[in-house]
Amino acid sequence: MKRLVIKGGKKLTGEVAVSGSKNAALPILAATILLNGESTISNIPNLLDVITILRVLKSLGIRAEYHAGGKVKIWNTGSVKHVAPYELVTKMRASFFVIGPILARKGLAKVPLPGGCAIGSRPVNIHIKGLEQLGASVRMEHGFVIVTANQLQGKRIYLDFPSVGATETIIMAATFAKGKTIIENVAREPEIIDLANFLNKAGAKVSGAGTEVIEVEGVESLHGIDYEIIPDRVEAGTLMIAAAITGGEVKVKKAIPKHVEALTRKLQDIGVSVKVDQDSILVKGNGKLKATDVKTLPYPGFPTDIQPQLSSLLAVSKGTSVVTETIFENRFMHVPELKRMGADIKIEGKSMIIHGVEKLSGAQVRVSDLRAGAALVLAGLAAEGETEIDDIDRHLIRGYENLVEKIQSLGGDIFAPTKKPALPNNS
Ligand code: UD1
């Protein structure tokens, strides 16, 4: 799928189930490096990023199979290699997360520096500082990070920023460290709790996940398990905004309402009705949207991964909204494209000032990154006329399982045209 065509103006209605969380699946699959024997992990979304991490595991000598219905079977015999391949780690940043478990398992890991991406430079200094504090020696060689340690030692570690990835790296590295590791100022995202639950089920001793301090008591080994990944809160949020922006009524099922509480509050401020049940969220837009201000923050604050989608909604909400991005330095890449669709947005430093317009108009637009792609899909659903989104394949397929089909099932007019081959000219 190279491009998507959306005919805007259809109200989305019906029920839709959320897939498993990409951002929980990736570190948990990396953590299988630590386990001995056979594991089955379910609710894994069928995404390009998941395929990439499975390829990384295979390159390390772990047998990994993706089965229909979102089950991944893993067989880890314990003979794990220590080098992660350049072409996979540089393709997907999250593959760098294998550094912690490889080091814990082997006492040596060689992993390429992942490099930046469209939304920011995304350094890994906090991951590396944490590994050093556990007693690892770190050096850089030809673009690879090489970490070694005879025996990692439990320590008290304070993170300079509550980085999601660094928290995960340090938890995984500390699993086999001698003694107790106390990590302060950690990320509190639901994906961290899922990783801790996964490790604990396999025999680890991780406590405090979901709070600002996590403790890891080192253990000798971990065993294979069956585990089910949590639902994807970013996908749930994107579908909630799809209902709101089209003035439709959508029940988002198989979701954890607590994980999207910051968005729920903002949608209610904007004038959207949101009713939560135990594992579903009913969102009803009435077409009367009003401006609000939003600032992205680490969880439980408003997630940066839903900021672009919310800004599409605010682009058609009456009044002036200020959206401030504090997590990534370059996460306004969707703004010039929204402006091509008639949005009135001005960027000032870390903030964008959005003056809501009556209607967006369909246009040809281009995608820079995953969540910017989702924002443009939402804008297209609300716009008058036809929106054509180019370069969609690399981005949307990386992060959303069957998003196009899900929107179609709710009545959205969205499709991926296949190019007709040119007919030979017989004249
Ligand atoms: C994860 C999510 C991503 C989400 C982000 C923030 C996955 C696979 N990805 O990414 O979708 O947008 O959390 O919620 O889970 N930083 C440093 N040094 C480091 C690490 C991070 O300066 O060593 C900075 C980053 O550049 C960024 C900020 O900290 O500005 C947050 O990054 P982090 O929380 O680490 O995000 P990721 O784990 O990469």
| 307 within ligand 1 shell (Cβ under 6 A) | no
Q: What distance in Å separates the CA atoms of residue 220 and residue 149, rounded to the nearest whole number? A: 16
Structure tokens at 373: 């792609």
Residue 117 annotated to the active site: yes
397 Cα: distance to centroid of ligand 1 (angstroms): 20
Q: Which strands sit side by side in the sheet containing 144-148, from one edge to the other? A: 108-112, 144-148, 137-141
At 2-14, the pLDDT tens digits run 789 999 999 999 9
116 lines ligand 1 (CB under 6 A): no
SS (H, E, C) 250-304: EEEECCCHHHHHHHHHHHHHHCCEEEECCCEEEEECCCCCECCCEEECCCCCECH
User: DSSP assignment, residue 134?
Assistant: T
Mean pLDDT of the chain, nearest integer: 93
Position 396 scores a pLDDT of 78
The overall longest dimension of the chain from CA atoms, in Å, is 82
Cα-to-centroid distance, 293 and ligand 1 (Å): 23
pLDDT of residue 287: 78
Q: What is the average pLDDT across 22-49?
A: 96
Cβ atoms within 10 Å of 268's Cβ, excluding its own: 12
Catalytic residue among 117, 297, 333, 357: 117
Cα(324) to centroid of ligand 1, in Å? 17
pLDDT above 90 covers a percentage of the chain that reads 84
Q: Whose CA is nearest to atom 7 of ligand 1?
A: 23
Please determine, for residue 423, whether its predicted confidence score (pLDDT) is greater than 70: no
Candidate of 122, 157, 305 to mutate for ligand 1, largest count of ligand atoms within 8 Å of Cβ: 122
- Give the alpha-carbon dihedral of 335, 330, 346, 355, to 10 degrees: 60
Tell me, using a 6 A CB cutoff, whether residue 365 lines ligand 1.
no
Q: How far apart are CA 88 and CA 112, in angstroms?
A: 9
pLDDT band at 284 (very low <50, low <70, confident <90, very high): very high
CA atoms within 13 A on the CB side of 320: 4
pLDDT score for 259: 98
The pLDDT value recorded for residue 426 is 43
Confirm or reject: Cβ of 95 under 6 Å from ligand 1. Answer: no
User: Is any ligand 1 atom within 6 A of the Cβ of residue 163?
Assistant: yes
As a whole number, mean pLDDT of residues 96-109 equals 96
Cα separation, 35 vs 53, in Å, equals 16
Q: How far is CA 30 from the centre of its chain?
A: 15
Helices (H), 214-260: 233-245
Distance 361 CA to ligand 1 centre (A): 34
The whole-number average pLDDT for the span 310-328 is 97
